[in-house]
Amino acid sequence: MTGRNGRTVRDLRRANRTAVLQRLYFDGPLSRFELGPATGLSSGSISNVVGELIADGLVEEAGSVDSDGGRPRILLRAAPGSGHMIGVDVGETRVRIELFDLTLTELSRVEKPLEQRRYEVDGIVGHIRDGVAEVLAAASVAPEQLLGVGIGVPGIVEHTPGRGAVVHGQTIGWDAVPLEELLREGSLLPESVPYFIDNGAKALGQAEMWFGGGRGAHNAVVVLFGSGVGACLVTPEVEHGRAVEWGHLTVRVRGRRCRCGALGCLEAYAGAEALLERWREAGGRPPEGADEETALTAMLAAAYPLVGGDTADGGRTADPVALAVLEETAEYLGAGLSDLINLFQPERILIGGWAGLQLGARFLPAVRRHATAYALRHPAQKVSVELGRLGPDAVTVGAAILPLADFFARGGRRPDPAPTGPAPAWRTVLEERAPR
């Protein structure tokens, strides 16, 4: 039966299940009495929906609380073991694969190092396949129990009919790579388990908006500062969040050549790879054979010895070369943030990614100062610039949120066919869980 607004009875039941399941997930444990005002549903609807969710194994009892003069009220919560998700971060130095239960508690993880940042497609596909098998085996979880596998990748992701996710990663040499198709070939996962593949900066943004520094914000930009730089924009007009190729904004005409091939990109000055190269060119000495994370640690210790260095000798002086390059990088990042402030006028800007977190609070005051100086005064006065709160695993958490958001949108029901598009309405989930 279809109503005047085009919604069927099945649609309404799914929406009611979604409302109850989300409230228990984000705000639980809650009693049936509390679920009514929290969801806007009648007591009869709450009783029916809760009964269904308990029968499906998605909701369980979690103790009781005293009521005013009556019987104790039973508390309910989302059942952690009722679903599992895998999050994958195809990063700059490694591929990280993590298995989570429904409440995003980590059950197992593996990391596959990338030798000399080699992004051969077959190698990445093999790492993901092997990693998925290993985390499932380590936690004794059957593939059929998965709600999906979320994957954060560098580059632009296009969802095409029949082929699924295709990745355009110019900076890593990927030209229209049909990643979803390749993962399906020889996969141990059944066809009913979907892949959700999206940009890594967007995955980071989703994690921070759900559980980190973005909670409660309606307009935010989450910046991924690693070997390169990228961003995710979240506004009411962009309900799913949108990856922004911020690193390829031109900041200097006829400037340094970026790894994308163009001249003068922000990433050619502010990404960790470029930062370390500029230190080397200026006479700095990164540790021989060290990976980027180790080399950046050494640079930070050289520039700020009282923070990152060995002070046992009674007082090392700062390396002026390392300090000058870092200060210049802070100005480039601040100028880049000013463009985001002027264009989108966000409430918050959060800086995450391994390099952003490693430089941390020592780097942030200068970035804020330059962002304010370069931006228009009115929007600059309204934005806060902070570090992300979820640490180096934020991309894998955000990737796992992709299948979780899809699960919520379906009212806690698993899809029959494997979808070929992105997870729907994760921004809508954020709005649904807002305090009432």
pLDDT in tens, 152-187: 999 899 988 878 899 998 888 899 999 999 999 878
Which of 146, 151, 145, 106 is CA-nearest to residue 128? 151
Q: How far is CA 67 from CA 39, 42, 43, 46, 48, in A?
A: 20, 19, 17, 18, 22
| pLDDT higher than threshold 90 for residue 116 | no
pLDDT for residue 327: 93
pLDDT for residue 430: 41
Q: Considering the entire predicted model, what is its pTM?
A: 0.85
pLDDT for residue 10: 85
pLDDT for residue 163: 80
Average pLDDT along the chain = 86
Say if residues 373 and 336 touch (Cβ distance below 8 Å): no
Q: Is 335 helix (H, G, I), strand (E, B) or coil?
A: helix
Q: What is the DSSP letter of 400?
A: H
| Cα–Cα distance measured from residue 205 to residue 391, given in angstroms and rounded to the nearest whole number | 13
State the pLDDT confidence band at 237, using cuts at 50, 70 and 90: low
Among 6-15, 164-173, 259-268, which stretch is predicted with the lowest mean pLDDT?
6-15
| pLDDT higher than threshold 70 for residue 42 | yes
Tokens, residue 95: 């591929």
Say if residues 119 and 416 touch (Cβ distance below 8 Å): no
Say if residues 354 and 388 touch (Cβ distance below 8 Å): no
User: 65 versus 275: which is more confidently predicted?
Assistant: 275
| pLDDT higher than threshold 50 for residue 427 | no
| pLDDT higher than threshold 60 for residue 287 | yes
| pLDDT higher than threshold 90 for residue 304 | no
Say if residues 194 and 143 touch (Cβ distance below 8 Å): no
Average pLDDT (422-435) is 44
Average pLDDT (380-385) is 95
| pLDDT higher than threshold 60 for residue 426 | no
Tokens, residue 110: 């593996």
Among 53-57, 69-73, 78-82, 426-430, which stretch is predicted with the lowest mean pLDDT?
426-430
pLDDT for residue 435: 34
